[in-house]
């Protein structure tokens, strides 16, 4: 993705202030659902209008290279897809938008567009920066966006789905109730879809850390059009390791070769404890076992500082796998109040994902391809 909840990153910045990174590491702990920075009810023109680029690659970055962050604007919980020759990144609310979206042709220079979800459905509460962590997928000839919003009936964060004919156009959700809403488990957040073997699946997290309840990562099969659920939800894993703290969130399932890899973020999103790990699964429906080498992406506590990397999204381009994620901006040697979008190479070695990051020096630019 924030309210202190624990999801990829949108949780609230309340008590997290601008503490020294090490102090943050020791004192901050996850709490409840994420709080974002944006106005859910904001209206905007069609998302096709480009705004000034928010990315500023250093003038000293060598040609053919990039340097993190790739998007210098508050852009939490990025989800990146390819559509034709362009790439689209969607993010938690910010800059007066419910769902932020940016477009790129090279993965390192991004133009911010208008609100992808300017109007919320009847079941969702307006205002309060409560629209988080979108996950977008193409289904037949249209795009489906799964997102988190506040359910007025239960007063919990729940998952909805909106559709659009084009990835850069406005997404609309005309439903009368949320798609997934586990009110008795604290709510449901961080949805992420997967297409595999002719079937569609939806992954999400119950927002239990908002209410002192165990957090699990769930999966359930979707209907062919992606607008309803089929069968029963299944738990894949939970916060069980010391590094994960009070929560686990931001599930992102990847099929690589014959293996299934469930990436996730864990711990307090506002602190230096926030990190990314993965579980190796036997199928899209599990079972899954967390990797012993977790976390594979974590904060860097020596200069240059990198605090709270997480809210990951995985994308293949030009024969290489890449991980997008967010990390806090650094102001005067302390943690700032914005989460910028970062990009690093993900390699596969002996059937395991190995992340080259977080990197702060120039890196070879991605090769663009299918």
Given a cut of 50, the residues of the chain with pLDDT beneath it are 1-47
The CATH number for 86's domain is 2.115.10.20
Dist CA 125 CA 148 (whole Å): 11
pLDDT of residue 52: 57
Structure tokens at 345: 């190479």
d(CA 350, CA 47): 42
For residue 2, the model assigns a pLDDT of 41
CA pair distance 248, 232, nearest whole angstrom:
21
Residue 352 lies inside a defined structural domain of this protein: yes
Quote the Cα angle for 37-43-48, to 5°: 95
Q: Quickly list DSSP for 122-139.
A: TTBPPSSS--EEEEEEEE
d(CA 151, CA 178): 7
Q: Which two tokens stand for residue 96?
A: 């007066």
Residue 14, domain member (yes or no): no
Q: Which domain holds residue 270?
A: 21-364
Residues forming beta bridges with residue 102, ordered by sequence position: 89, 112
Tokens of 338: 């914005």
Domain count of the fold of the chain: 1
Indicate whether this model's pTM tops 0.85. Answer: yes
369 located within any domain: no
Q: Which is nearest to 140 in space by CA: 98, 181, 200?
A: 200
The per-residue pLDDT for range 291-311, each reduced to its tens digit, is 999 999 999 999 999 999 999
157 located within any domain: yes
**d(C-alpha 172, C-alpha 189), whole Å:** 19
* Cα torsion angle, 91, 94, 98, 102, sign: negative
193: which DSSP letter?
E
- How far apart are the C-alpha atoms of 126 and 117, rounded to whole Å? 12
| Alpha-carbon span 8 to 251, nearest angstrom | 9
> Is residue 3 included in any domain, yes or no?
no
Q: Does some domain include residue 243?
A: yes
Element of type H or E holding 163: strand 156-164
- Size of the chain in residues: 370
Element (H, E) at 27: helix 21-27
Does some domain include residue 316?
yes
Among residues 213, 344, 238, the alpha carbon closest in space to that of 289 is found at 238
With respect to residue 247, please indicate whether it lies within any of the assigned structural domains: yes
CA distances from 19 to 16, 54, 141, 190, 334 (A): 7, 26, 47, 27, 6
Tokens of 66: 């990039």
């Amino acid at each position: 993705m924030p309210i202190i909840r624990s999801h990829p990153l949108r949780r609230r910045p309340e008590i997290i202030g601008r503490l020294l990174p090490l102090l943050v590491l020791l004192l901050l702990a996850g709490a409840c659902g994420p709080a974002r920075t944006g106005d859910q009810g904001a209206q905007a023109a069609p998302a096709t209008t480009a705004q000034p680029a928010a990315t500023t690659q250093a003038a000293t970055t060598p040609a053919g290279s990039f340097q993190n962050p790739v998007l210098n604007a508050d852009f939490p919980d990025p989800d990146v897809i390819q559509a034709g020759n362009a790439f689209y990144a969607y993010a938690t609310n910010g800059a007066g938008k419910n769902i932020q979206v940016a477009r790129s042709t090279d993965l390192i220079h991004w133009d911010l567009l208008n609100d992808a979800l300017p109007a919320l459905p009847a079941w969702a509460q307006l205002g309060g920066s409560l629209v988080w962590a979108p996950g977008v997928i193409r289904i037949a000839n249209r795009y489906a966006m799964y997102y988190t919003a506040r359910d007025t009936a239960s007063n919990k964060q729940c998952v909805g789905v909106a559709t659009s004919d084009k990835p850069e156009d406005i997404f609309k959700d005309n439903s009368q109730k949320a798609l997934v809403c586990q009110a008795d488990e604290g709510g449901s957040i961080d949805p992420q879809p997967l297409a595999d073997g002719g079937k569609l699946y939806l992954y999400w997290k119950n927002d239990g850390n908002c209410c002192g309840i165990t957090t699990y990562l769930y999966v359930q099969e979707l209907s062919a059009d992606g607008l309803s659920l089929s069968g029963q939800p299944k738990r894949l894993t939970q916060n069980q390791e010391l590094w994960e703290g009070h929560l686990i969130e931001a599930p992102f399932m990847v099929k690589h070769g014959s293996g299934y890899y469930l990436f996730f973020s864990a711990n307090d999103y506002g602190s230096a404890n926030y990190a990314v790990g993965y579980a190796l699964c036997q199928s899209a429906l599990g079972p899954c076992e967390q990797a012993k080498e977790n976390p594979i992406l974590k904060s860097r506590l020596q200069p240059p500082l990198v605090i709270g990397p997480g809210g990951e999204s995985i994308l293949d381009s030009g024969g290489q796998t890449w991980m997008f994620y967010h990390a806090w901006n650094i102001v005067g040697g302390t943690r700032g109040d914005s989460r910028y979008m970062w990009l690093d190479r993900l390699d596969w070695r002996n059937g395991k994902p190995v992340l080259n990051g977080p990197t702060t020096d120039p890196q070879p630019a991605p090769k663009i391809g299918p």
